[in-house]
Structures are given as C-alpha cells and as structure tokens.
Homo-oligomer: A and B are copies of this chain.
Amino acid sequence: MQCRIMIPNRDQAPIERCQKCSVRHKAVCGALNDAELARLNQIARTRQIKPGQTVFSDQEQPEFFANIVSGVIKLTKTLSDGRQQIVGLLFAPDFLGRAYGGESPYLAEAATDVELCCFPSDNFEHMLGDFPDLEHRLFENTLDELDSAREWMLLLGRKTAQEKVASFLLMIAHRAPNIGCAHSDEMNFVQFALPLSRADIADYLGLTIETVSRHFTKLKSDGVINIINNREIAVPDIDMLANRADLEDAL
C-alpha cells in the first residue's frame, strides 16, 4: 500500500514534468529558477489521496511537505470529547505543511480526490536555507493564511448562522474558478461544485449539520441560490449572496 501511493517518477525528465505542471508558476515553485527547480524536482514525488484519507495525523511528525496539485485538503482540530473544527481549507495550488514545526498541530485530510507533489521534510527544509526566495514565498503564503484565519475568526465569533453559510458559499464561489469547478455565464451568475459535505461545512462554520441544511433551504426559498443537487450550487446574483454574508438585512 505504501508503495502504491508513493509513486517514484525520477525517470521523467526533471524539468519537463514541472513545465507540464498545472501549478508550476502559482505554487511555491514559482519562486525558483530552472536550476533550482531541477533540484526540487529530484526529491519530489506525486501522490494521490482519496476523500476522507488522512495526510498528516495530529501530534505526528510529518515526513513531507507538499504542493496541492488538485483537490481540497481540510485541516481540523478536535476537542477531547470529539467536537471538531476545521481551521483551514487548502486548495490547489496551496502549500501543505508547517515549516520548522516539529509535530503538526492539526489533522490534515483530503476533502476530495487530491493530487499532491510531495517533498521529504529534511531535504526540503535544507533547501529553504539554500534558496531564500523559496523561504520568502512560503513566508508570504503564511501571512495570507494568517489573514484568512483571522477573517474566519470574525465569522466564527460574530456572524449568525445565515451569514456563516452565505459567507462560505461566497468564498467557494470566489475560489472555485481557480480550481476548475465553476463557470460563469453572465455577469453576476455563478455555478460551482461544493468540495465539502454538509458535515464538513458544519465543522468549518462552527455549526451543526442540521443548521447548515436549514439555511441552505432558506437561501434557496429566498431565491438567493439554486440547489442543483447536493454538491452543485447556482447563484443567480452574486451580490445578493454577498449581502447575506455580512449583514442580516431585514426579515
């Protein structure tokens, strides 16, 4: 099994593989020139992950870092009695792993089918020292993650369930185009696939499954969204949804 998911591809022409890579310039690799990229490529291994499968355990020393080539990874924290909270969602071309971290402070698992480009921890941390641009890129990445985390703190602490659900849909609508699961015909119309189950959405918003479901149907009956099926949502007017995200306007 271990050998099935860690596919060596040293045999490919190093740079060629990266040149064909869909996230070559958007991921952290974008900070590297060809020579540096060749070195990184030498230690890189692709890996396929199934939905629900664990990538890093809690309290475990991760053995690799990774670029997300496709799919969505969720980062979760858990209380002793089982209550869960998703503390981060990673989309392609995000970077997975905490540099200089020791053990991972949270559980990382696949929310969808995921393709990773993995780098062994020790090799990669060594490269960080050699390539300042790479570390700098990771730093900026981390700053963005911190901003998102704080944005979500505002949501968790102060928004109503309705606003939470609307904010979530809005966030997916904005990020989905980059992961190729959305299309937009007219100006304000968007349709996209949800990368998360209702249970995951609840864990992300600090709500229960039932509350999430109720507000989906409320948004539907208010004409703000169209539920094509459980995983496919259409938004006729994105501004209308945005209004629901910040402030419960009347009724």
Contact = CB atoms under 8 A, between A and B. Distances in A.
A171 to B, nearest CB: 15
Per assembly, the copies of the chain total 2
B75 A143 contact: no
B142 A84 contact: no
Interface residues of A, number: 41
Interface of A: 75, 77, 79-81, 83-85, 87-88, 98-101, 105-106, 132, 135-136, 138-140, 142-143, 145-147, 149-154, 156-159, 205-206, 246-247
B149 A149 contact: yes
Given A83-B158, A157-B156, A206-B157, A151 B77 contact: yes
A82 to B, nearest CB: 10
Contacts of A145: 146
A154 B87 CA distance: 7
A143 B142 CA distance: 7
A19 to B, nearest CB: 28
B247 A158 contact: no
Contacts of A150: 75, 77, 87-88, 105-106, 149
Contacts of A151: 77, 105
A139 B129 CA distance: 13
8 contacts: A77-B154, A81-B247, A87-B154, A132-B135, A135-B139, A139-B139, A142-B146, A156-B156
